[in-house]
Chain A
Amino acid sequence: MEIVKNRVGSVATLQLSGRLDLAAGVTLKEKVKEEFDAGNVQIHINLARVDFVNSSGLGALVSVMKETRLRNGRLTMSNLASYVQEIFEITQLSHIFEIFPTQEEAMTSYDTAPVR
C-alpha cells in the first residue's frame, strides 16, 4: 500500500492506494502516529484508490479513530469506492466514522462557520 501525506490548512491528509490489509494497516497507524507526534490531530483519510479492505484494515481504521479521539482530534474519511462502502455498511461502521463523498466536502466541514 502506498500512502501519500499532505496538508490542507490545519488538516493532515493521507491518500491511500491499494489493499488495506494487516500490513497496510500497520503502516497506516505508523503514518498517523507521525502526524500526532508533529502535533497534528486533525486527520483526513482519502480512500479513493483503495480497492480492498479486510477485517485487519477495518481494525486499523478503528484504532486510528480511537487514538485521534484520545487526543481530542478529529478523523474524517472520503471517496469510498463501492466495495469499501459495502463493507462499511455491512459492519455499520459508517455510523461511527465521519465519511464524506469527496475530500473537498470533508475539508469544508473543518472550516467551522461562526455562529450567528
Chain B
Amino acid sequence: MSRMTTDSSELLNLIQSGNIEERRDAVTQLANAPGDDAIAGLVLALEDSDAGIREMAAEALMHAELEISTALLSQFLSSDNITTRNLAAEILVKIGSGAVPALISFLHDPDHDVRKFVVDTVGMIGDRRATKSVCEALGDTNLNVSCSAAEALGNIGDPAACEELLRAMGTVEEMAPQAIEALGKIGDDRAVNALISKLACGDSLQIYAASEALGKIGSPAALRAMASVLKSDSIELAEEAFKSALRISQIIQADLHDHIPIQRIQSFISAGFAKNDSDIVDFAGRNLCLWRDGSALSPIVRRATYLNERSRGALTRQLQNLGVSVEDLLIQELYVADSATKLAIMDIASGAPQALSSVGLRRFASDADPEVRSKVAFLLGKLTDGSGVETLGILAEDAVGHVRAAAFRSLGWLHCEGAVAMLIAGIDDQYVDVREACVGALISIGGEAVIEYFSRNLKLGTTEQQRLSAKALGWIGEDSVVEPLTTAVNHSAPQVRKQAIEALCRIGRIHEMDALLPAINDEDEGVQRSAITGVARFVPHRAVRILEQFIDDDNIWMRTHVIAILGELDDLRAVGLLIKQLTATQDVIRIAAINALAANGSITARAALQSFNPAGNNDLSVALSAALARLSGEGVYA
C-alpha cells in the first residue's frame, strides 16, 4: 500500500529512501505537487538507480510546464551521469523555446562538456533565436564544441548562419564536413559555389559531404559539377554524386541527361551493372529511354530481380514506347535466365502484352518450372488476339494443378467458346482451384452451351452439383436461366432451394419474385431466410405484412434476421413493429431492434431510441449509445 503525504520535505527525504516502493510513491506525489521543491525532488529522481523511477520523473518534468531558470538548469547540468544528461536534454527539448535563454547563458561555461551539451540541445530545439550565439560557438577553442555548433546550426536551419558556416568551412579543416552538412540542411543557394569547389578539394570525406549537400540544395549549377565526380576512382563517391545528381534533377524537374552527358551516365551505369548495384539497376530500369537504341534492355532485364515494383512498371511503359522490337531480346534473356529472373521478366512483359507474342511464349510452355508455365498461361490470356488459345489447350492438360487453373482462367478471359467442352471437363478436376477456375471461366463465357450444361446439371446432377449449378446460373444471369432456377426453388434438397433463391435474387427480375413467396414458409430455416431477404428487397410494398408473421417466431435467430430486414425498409409500419420489440424479454432481440431502428434512421425511429430507457442494463446501454452515435449527423426522412 502506498503512503499518502503532503509534506514536500518528507517527500524529498523519501526520494533518497532505500525502499523502491517509497521512492516511486514519492515521485508520484511530487508529480502532482507544483512548486520549486517538487521540481527539485523530481530532478533528483532523474538519477535514481531504478530506470522506471527515472522515466516517471522525466515524464513528470516534461508535463510540469517548467520555467527553466539558471538555477534549475545548473541542477540539470550538475550530473556527470550520461543517462541523466540524456533525460535532461529530452526534457529541455520538450520544453522547447522557453529553455533557450537559460541554455545560452551556459555557452561560456568553463566545462566544455557543458558547452557541448548546450549547443547540442539548442540544436535539437531548433529555435532560430539561438543562431547568433551558436554561430559564436563555431569559434570555441574545443573542437568537439565547435563541430557540434556546426551540426546544431544545420538542425536549426537558419539561413542567417550561412556566411559563418562558409567561413568556418574554409578556415577550420576539421570542422569542414560538419559545416558542409549543415549548409546542405539549411539549403541556401549562397553555399552552392563554395560546395561545388569542395567537389575538387581532394578530401574524400568533404567531397562526399559536398555531393550530399548539393543534392539537398538542388541547384542546377551543381549538376554539371557532379559529372566530374562520376569519374572518381572511388565507387562510394561516384555513387553519392550520382544519387545527388538524381535528387537535383527531381527537385528542379529536369532530365539528368540534359545536364550530364549521356555517355557519362551510361558508363557509370555500366559500372553499376558490373557490381549489380540495385539502386543503379533500378535507375536504369526507369530510364531505359536514355539508350534510344534499346541497347540497355538486355543488361537491365538480366537483372530484373533487382528492380522494384515502381521501376518494373516504368520499364513496362517504356517497352511499349521503345520503337524497336523487344521480343527477340526478351526471348534471348529468357532462355538463359534462372526461374526468378524469368518470372520477373514475364512480370515486366505482362503489362505490355505486345512485348511477348504467343509464338515467343510457346517456347516456355514446357519450362521445367511450373511457376514459369503458370506465368506463360497467364500471359497468353492477356493476348486478346486469341493467338495463345492452342498453347493454352496444351497447358490445360499440364500435370501441375495451378498451371491447369491458370490456363483455364485465361481461356475464360479470352471468351473462348471453343474451350467450353474442355472447361466442363475441368469441373471434375481433383484440385479445387482448377474446378473454381473452370466455373469462373464458364460464367465469363456464358452462352447457350454453358447454360444448357448447368441447367442439365441442376436437374440431373448430384445434390452438390445441383447447388453449384444454381450458383453458376445466378452469375451467368441471362434470361434463359430464370426458368430452371424458378423450378429449383421447389427442389427436394434445401441447399439447392436456397441457392436457387439467392441466384434469382442476384438476377433481380421483379416479376419472378412471386416464385419466392411459398419459400417464406419453407421447412428449412436457411431457405426461409434467403426467401425473406429476397422478398424484402424486391417486393418491399408487401414485405412488412410478410415479415410481421415472423417477428414473434420461436426461433430467436429468425427473429433477429427479420428485425434487421425491417430496419432496412423505408416504411413506417416497419418502425412500429421494431418499437414493439424494444420491450421484448430477451436482450438479444432488444439489441437487434435498437440496431434496426438506428439503420432505419427515420424521425420516429430516432424518437423511439432517444426516449428508450435501458434501465441499468449495460448491454442495452452500450448498444443504445452506439446507435445514437451512428444516428448523429445522418440524414433523416419524414
Contacts and interface: CB of A to CB of B under 8 A. Distances in A.
Interface stretch (B269-277, B438-446, B608-616): B438-446
Interface in B378-402: 378, 381-382, 384-385
28 contacts: A54-B475, A54-B477, A55-B444, A55-B445, A55-B447, A55-B476, A55-B477, A56-B478, A58-B444, A58-B446, A59-B415, A59-B446, A62-B414, A62-B444, A91-B441, A92-B413, A92-B437, A92-B440, A93-B412, A93-B444, A95-B381, A95-B409, A96-B381, A112-B317, A114-B255, A115-B289, A116-B249, A116-B287
B353 interface: yes
Nearest to B321: A112
B250 interface: yes
A4 interface: no
B478 A54 contact: yes
Interface string A33-70: 00000000000000000011111101100110110011
Given A56-B478, A69-B353, A115 B287 contact: yes
A65 B317 contact: no
Of A51, A54, A66, chain B has the most CB atoms within 10 Å of the CB of: A54
A90 B443 contact: yes
Interface string B285-320: 011010000000000000000000000001001100
A83 B253 CA distance: 43
Interface in B118-168: none
Nearest to A96: B413
A93 B256 contact: no
B382 A87 contact: no
Given A69-B384, A114-B255, A116-B246, A93 B478 contact: no
In this complex, the interface size class of chain B, counting residues with CB under 8 Å from chain A, is 35 or more
Given A21-B478, A54-B475, A96-B381, 11 more contacts: A51-B508, A52-B508, A83-B506, A90-B475, A91-B444, A92-B409, A112-B317, A115-B287, A115-B314, A116-B255, A116-B287
A65 B384 contact: yes
Contacts of B506: 83
B384 A55 contact: no
A7 B286 CA distance: 30
Interface string B404-446: 0000010011110000000000000000000001011101111
Nearest to A90: B440
Interface string A99-116: 000000000000010111
Contact of A52 (B249, B381, B415, B477): B477
Interface in B350-371: 353
B314 A96 contact: no
Contacts of B246: 116
Nearest to B437: A92
Contacts of B440: 90-92
A96 B415 contact: no
A52 B384 CA distance: 25
Given A58-B444, A116-B249, A92 B478 contact: no
Nearest to A58: B444
Of A70, A95, A116, chain B has the most CB atoms within 10 Å of the CB of: A116
A71 B317 CA distance: 17
Given A90-B440, A91-B443, A22 B478 contact: yes
Contact of B446 (A52, A56, A66, A116): A56
Interface in B217-269: 246, 249-250, 253, 255-256
Contacts of B256: 116
A83 B246 CA distance: 46
Contacts of B476: 54-55
Contact of A95 (B249, B253, B378, B508): B378
A92 B287 CA distance: 33
Chain B interface secondary structure, helix, strand, loop or mixed?
helix
A96 B382 contact: yes
A91 B381 CA distance: 13
A96 B440 CA distance: 14
Contacts of B439: 90
Interface in A19-33: 21-22
Interface residues of A, number: 28
Contacts of A66: 384-385
Contacts of B381: 95-96
Closest 5 CB pairs of A and B: A55-B446, A54-B477, A91-B444, A66-B384, A91-B440
B437 to A, nearest CB: 7
B637 to A, nearest CB: 21
A63 to B, nearest CB: 8
Nearest to B451: A55
A106 to B, nearest CB: 16
Contacts of A93: 412-413, 444
A21 B477 CA distance: 8
A63 B414 CA distance: 9
Nearest to B254: A116
Contacts of A95: 378, 381, 409, 413
A21 B31 CA distance: 71
A87 B413 contact: no
A19 to B, nearest CB: 8
B285 to A, nearest CB: 10
B384 A115 contact: no
Contacts of A53: 477
A92 B476 CA distance: 14
Contacts of B447: 55
A83 B505 CA distance: 12
A71 to B, nearest CB: 12
Interface in B463-481: 475-478
Contacts of B385: 66, 70
A63 B439 CA distance: 20
Contacts of A69: 353, 384
A92 B443 CA distance: 11
Contacts of B286: 115-116
A93 B444 CA distance: 8
Nearest to B317: A112
B478 A55 contact: yes
Nearest to B353: A69
A106 B14 CA distance: 67
A51 B318 CA distance: 37
